Amino acid sequence: MVDIGKGAGDKGTSDNPPLVVLENVNKHFGELHVLKDINLTIDQGEVVVIIGPSGGGKSTLCRSINRLEPIDGGTILIDGKKLPEEGRDLARLRADVGMVFQSFNLFAHKTILENVTLGPMKVRKVGKAEAEKHAMELLERVGIGTQAGKYPAQLSGGQQQRAAIARALAMKPKVMLFDEPTSALDPEMVKEVLDVMTDLAHEGMTMIVVTHEMGFARRAAQKVVFMAEGQIVEESTPDEFFTNARTDRARDFLSKILTH
């Protein structure tokens, strides 16, 4: 089994404090209050899926955890340390927080292997041979080892997204953030990416996933967080949420998406 990084481990206990903690987090875009007093705790090895209607603050919440979106109030802790505002401390933290975007964000002028080795060599100061060995293990792990010498434009969308996952894993992150990782993919490519993510979840990677894929939420999550209008409306296990949602807002959302 390929080393997926420091993030793999047991769920939080008294000996193992929560890996990610958000306390009273607020965020505005001008007059728009997009995150309203968000409180959320994610344990080591826990998979948290964030779902809800568009414009509810899901992606902003995800992006705030590695400070791609600065917050206006509250506190975010990663592995017990407050989220730095800028500089080298922030760069170090981002190395511990892997991010997979909707749009892949691979470097078009670099091969897939170069995309995956760049971070470890530049940020972690890993030697080229070691970085390439680990990168090839990860590319095999996500099912695209034969594509290592190709450029992103030569790969399908599903292959590019799996390369982006391998690139994030190459940094051996403590936690992985996925911001709607399948929404830009053709339907037949969605499964190949979700299968990789499900395997990661089962191996103990701490994951925060913004997605519209309810099957993945049911299959892989320990916790479902339902967001609407900038607030966490419900937080429960997948079984509880999908069979017995507590709020009218969540029941209305589920009635619309589960009948199509």
pLDDT at 22: 97
Provide CB contacts within 8 A for 151, sequence distance 6+: 108, 109, 110, 111, 112
Judged against a pLDDT cut of 60, whether residue 157 lies above it is answered with yes
Mean pLDDT of the chain: 91
pTM score of the predicted model: 0.91
CATH, range 20-257? 3.40.50.300
For residues 158 and 143, is the Cβ–Cβ distance under 8 A? Answer: no
The pLDDT tens digits for 84-129 are: 777 777 888 888 999 999 998 999 999 999 999 999 999 899 999 9
* In the predicted structure, residue 11 carries a pLDDT above the cut 60: no
* 9 has a pLDDT exceeding 50: no
pLDDT higher than 70, residue 3: no
- Asked if 176 and 98 count as a contact pair (C-beta separation under 8 A), the reply is yes
Has residue 20 got a pLDDT over 70?
A: yes
Report pLDDT digits (tens) over 181-221.
Answer: 999 999 889 999 999 999 999 999 999 999 999 999 999 99
* Direct distance between the N- and C-terminal alpha carbons of the chain, in angstroms, rounded to an integer: 38
Q: In the structure encoding, which two tokens stand for residue 26, read together?
A: 């607020």
pLDDT tops 60 at residue 8? no
pLDDT digits (tens, 9 = 90+) for 212-224: 999 999 999 999 9
Are 147 and 163 within 8 A, CB to CB? yes
**Domain positions in the chain:** 20-257
Q: How far apart are CA 132 and CA 78, in angstroms?
A: 28
User: Which residues are within 8 A (CB) of 34 and not within 5 positions of it... i.e. 6 or more apart?
Assistant: 27, 28, 57, 60, 230
Contact present, 115 and 154 (Cβ < 8 Å):
no
Helix (H), strand (E), coil (C) string for 119-146: HHHHCCCCCHHHHHHHHHHHHHHCCCHH
How far apart, in whole angstroms, are the C-alpha atoms of residue 3 and residue 99? Answer: 18
Residue 83's pLDDT band (cuts 50, 70, 90) = confident
15 pLDDT band (50/70/90 cuts)?
Answer: low
pLDDT of residue 92: 80
| Residues found in the chain | 260
pLDDT of residue 6: 42
Greater model confidence, 182 or 257: 182
